[in-house]
Structure formats: C-alpha cells, structure tokens
Amino acid sequence: MGILVGLSCWAFIIMCLNNVDCTHSEIIAEDLIAVSETDTRASSDSESSSCGCHSLKRDTVVNIDRKVSLLSEQAAVKYSKRANDGMEVNQEHSQDLDIPNKMVLIPAGEFLMGTNNPEIPQDGEGPQRRVHLDQFYIDIHEVSNQEFQKFVNATNYVTEAEKFGDSFVFEGLLSEAVKSQISQAVAAAPWWLPVKGANWRHPEGPDSTITDRLDHPVLHVSWSDATAYCTWAGKRLPTEAEWEYACRGGLSDRLFPWGNKLHPKGQHYANLWQGEFPVQNTGEDGYTRTSPVMSFPANGYGLYNMVGNAWEWTSDWWSIHHTTDELHNPKGPAAGHDRVKKGGSYMCHKSYCYRYRCAARSQNTPDSSASNLGFRCASHNKQ
Ligand SMILES: *[C@@H]1O[C@H](CO)[C@@H](O)[C@H](O)[C@H]1NC(C)=O
C-alpha cells in the first residue's frame, strides 16, 4: 500500500516533468491541495477557497522554479533571554537524556471542546460542545528522538518515511546541496519539498543528523509509526478530545494552554514562528526550528509544548462536522481518510497558520510525515 502511494507520487512527478502544460498554477487550480499551515489569507481567495488548508500528501508535488528561493539566509538566532529565565529546571531536565517520558494523570471531568469563535472555520473548530472524559494519563512532553531511538534499537522498526525513501521538509531548513537536487514542491505550499533520504534520523535529508538534538521531538513519523511506538511503550495515541482537554490545562474556553495572551508579561510561551513566513524566521523565541521537548513553561497540568514545536498526531479520523450533543469519551468518526493532528508547530505564525490554539486542528493522511510533525502518547494506566 505504502509502495503504491509512493509510486503514484513519483508517477505524478514524471508526468509533470514530461508535460509542458503541467504548470504550477494549473496544478494548484486542479488539485487545490494545500498543506498544513497553508496561508489562511490565501484560503479566502477564489482559487484556494475550497482547499481548506489540508494536509501534506505524498501525491501532491509539483515542479518549482529554482530561481524562487524562500529561504532566508540570515535568520538571526536571537535568544529570548527573558522568556527563558526561570527555566533552569526545564533545561536541567532536557539535558538529562535518560529521563523517559513521564506521564501525568489528567483527572476525569468535562470541558468545552472546540470554539464558537473559530479563527479557521473550515477546519471544523466549532461548534463548541460539552465533552465528558474519564481520567487518563498523558506524556508530559513530545516523544523525543532519544526515546524513539530506544524503540527502534529494541524492535528494528522501520518508519514509513524510510520505506518511501523520502519525506517532506520545510525548504528554509535545507542545505544548498540538498535543495539543488530537488525540483518538486507541494502545490499550494511550495515551501514544502519532498526530500530523498529525509527521515527521523536525518530530519533535513542525508547531510543532517539528530545527534545534537536527541532531546528534541522525533519528526518524520507517520500516524502509523506513532501508533507503533505508543503500542510498544504500552500506551496509545490520545484521542482528539483527550489531547484538547490536556492542552487546556484546566482553563476554560481560552485560546492557548496558558490563557488568552500570546506573550504573557512579554514572554514567549511556545516555539512558534517570529518574522515573516516563509522568508524570515527571526528566532525571537530562541529557536528557528524544533526546541527540546521540555522547553518553555508547562501548562496547568505540567505538560510541555502542547502548542508549537511539533504538530502532534491524535487517534481520531478527521471530520469537520461535529454534533453538539454531550459526548462521553468521544473517539471521532468511525472511519475516514485523514487523521487529526493538533497543536501547530515551530512554523506557525498568526498570518498564515493561526493553529497554535487548543481548539485548532488540522489533518494528514496516516502515511504522511514531515519536518514539523511528531506525537506524544496517552494511556489509561500509569506506566
Ligand atoms: C541505540 O543504539 C545505538 C547503537 O548501538 C546507541 O549508540 C544508542 O545509544 C542507542 N540508543 C538508545 C536510546 O538506547
């Protein structure tokens, strides 16, 4: 199945390469395939109004003009000192790579899921509905490279990106050497490039490694890979409802895990994009790509990076239609095409991907992987 998808992807590229009529704009108009974090402004213009800011899919690459580079060479690495003051405890933890992911108990309760003031209505952020949940445990941070390495060492697991031989990487992270070998991009979001040899061990392609970021979230893991990891660890992926309840940290109807202000007391509370997407990331929050899994302040439940850093897979199938009936332990639609991901990533900026809110959501096919997509696990029992 994976091989078939992979083949159709490359067949599509070859088709485009051989077809002079296969222009970028035609493909956009025909396919209307957007990726996560597509410009929400673009979604209001006629050409992409039906795109709904979807997912990265393995069969939606198009040719790109190599003369147009979206890379900002001078992304400053400004360290937001004030934001990181008082975070010594976190940094201590993040350097102790032997700490396995701790879980915290999220008490049973009810909460308001979604929002009646959707920022991105086409994502199905509304309507707000009352949801009751049993207690559950959830990882306090995203699964790290080191944790995933432990899993692979123990099981010889091969991820889908490794089987496909490629994965999506944000152009701004790629070396010139890798970029020069790529001639395709994602239709409605040309900053995504399918990079041969990109996978969890090599997040920006063959010339990159994870050795200097073992405490960062594992990336380039598909929904199936994430499920395999959680199962191995005696856990499971959280449902979307569990994830959102955990994100809210005990607060009701707030935008972010910590409240409604993006920068309380002028500080950064999440790893997001500062600057102008996609050309300039100033790194004002201290990071231009992922950050250690326990960076930035934890929310009321003690959970790190619920928004920003890496998107997180949930177990639910994707649908934008929700009942307003009160539900108990909802698990999402019985079937579907895409899986729900939550939380946004280090690439999110209000101008094009205002999805670092607890009610925000997006989707990808279960075999998709990318340089901003990871996961954390949940469980009914303490591990
Ligand atoms: C996985 O195996 C490699 C090679 O033996 C080793 O260097 C690495 O420390 C192991 N990782 C973990 C997390 O155990």
- Ligand 1: distance of its center to the CA of 154 in Å? 9
Ligand 1 center to 156 CA (angstroms): 12
Per-residue pLDDT tens digits for 202-235: 999 999 999 999 999 999 999 999 999 999 999 9
| Residues paired with 322 in a beta bridge | none
Ligand 1 pocket: which residues have CB below 6 Å?
Answer: 146, 149-150, 153
Q: How many angstroms does the Cα of residue 308 sit away from the middle of ligand 1? A: 28
CA of 153 to the centre of ligand 1 (A): 6
Q: Which of 262, 274, 271 is nearest to 296 (CA)?
A: 271
- For Cα atoms 96, 106, 253, give the angle at the middle one, nearest 5 degrees: 110
Instruction: Give the closest residue (by CA) to ligand 1 atom 6.
Output: 153
Q: Which residues contact 27 (CB under 8 A, 6 or more apart)?
A: 16, 62, 187
If you take atom 4 of ligand 1, which residue's CA is the nearest one? 153
Protein residue whose Cα sits closest to atom 13 of ligand 1: 150
Gap from CA of 356 to ligand 1 centroid (Å): 33
Q: Which residue has the tokens 């010339």?
A: 207
- C-alpha–C-alpha distance, residues 214 and 324, integer Å: 42
So what's the pLDDT on residue 368?
A: 97
Q: Which of 144, 149, 218 to mutate to test the pocket of ligand 1 (most atoms within 8 A of CB)?
A: 149
For the CA atoms of the chain, what is the radius of gyration?
Answer: 20
Which is the closest atom of ligand 1 to the Cα of 152? Answer: 1
Q: Which atom of ligand 1 is nearest to the CA of 153?
A: 1
pLDDT in the model for residue 3: 35
**Residue with CA at minimum distance from ligand 1 atom 3:** 153
Which pLDDT does position 184 carry in this prediction?
A: 86
- Determine the pLDDT at residue 59: 61
Residue listed under structure tokens 């729900």: 340
Give the pLDDT confidence of 236-268 residue by residue, as tens digits. 999 999 999 999 999 999 999 999 999 999 999
**What are the b/e assignments for 255-283, b being 16+ CB within 10 Å?**
bbbbeeebeeeebbbbbbbbbebbebbbb
- Among candidates 311, 351, 347, 317, which has minimal Cα distance to 334? 317
* Best probe residue, ligand 1, of 148, 150, 153 (max atoms within 8 Å of C-beta): 153
Cα separation, 198 vs 206, in Å, equals: 6
Task: Tell me how crowded residue 134 is: count the other CB atoms within 10 A of its CB.
Answer: 12
pTM for this structure? Answer: 0.80
Pairing of strands 192-196, 166-170: antiparallel
Position in ligand 1 atom list of the atom nearest CA 149: 13
What number of residues does the chain have?
A: 383
Q: What is the pLDDT along the chain (383 residues), one digit of tens a residue?
A: 333 333 333 333 323 322 222 222 222 222 323 333 333 333 333 323 232 334 477 766 655 443 333 332 222 222 233 333 444 334 444 445 555 789 999 999 999 999 999 999 999 999 999 999 999 999 999 999 999 999 999 999 999 999 999 999 999 999 999 999 998 888 888 899 999 999 999 999 999 999 999 999 999 999 999 999 999 999 999 999 999 999 999 999 999 999 999 999 999 999 999 999 999 999 999 999 999 999 999 999 999 999 999 999 999 999 999 999 999 999 999 999 999 999 999 999 999 899 999 999 999 999 999 999 999 999 998 87
Ligand 1 center–CA 346 separation, angstroms: 27
Instruction: Check residue 339 and give its pLDDT.
Output: 98
The tokens for 40 are 């929400």
Nearest atom in ligand 1 to the alpha carbon of residue 147 is 13
* Ligand 1 centre distance from Cα of residue 150 (Å): 7
Distance from the CA of 217 to the center of ligand 1, in angstroms? Answer: 17
Measuring from atom 1 of ligand 1, which residue has the nearest CA?
Answer: 153
Report how far residue 210's alpha carbon sits from residue 33's, in angstroms, rounded to the nearest whole number: 31
CA of 135 to the centre of ligand 1 (A): 34
Atom of ligand 1 nearest to the CA of 214: 13
Cβ-proximal residues to 30 (8 Å cutoff; 6+ apart), any chain: none
Pair type for strands 339-342 and 136-139: unpaired
> What is the C-alpha separation between 8 and 4, in angstroms, rounded?
6
Q: In this predicted structure, what is the pLDDT of residue 187?
A: 83
How close is the Cα of 102 to the center of ligand 1, in Å? 20
Which protein residue has the closest C-alpha to ligand 1 atom 5?
Answer: 153
Distances (CA, A) of 332 to 241, 317, 327: 8, 6, 10
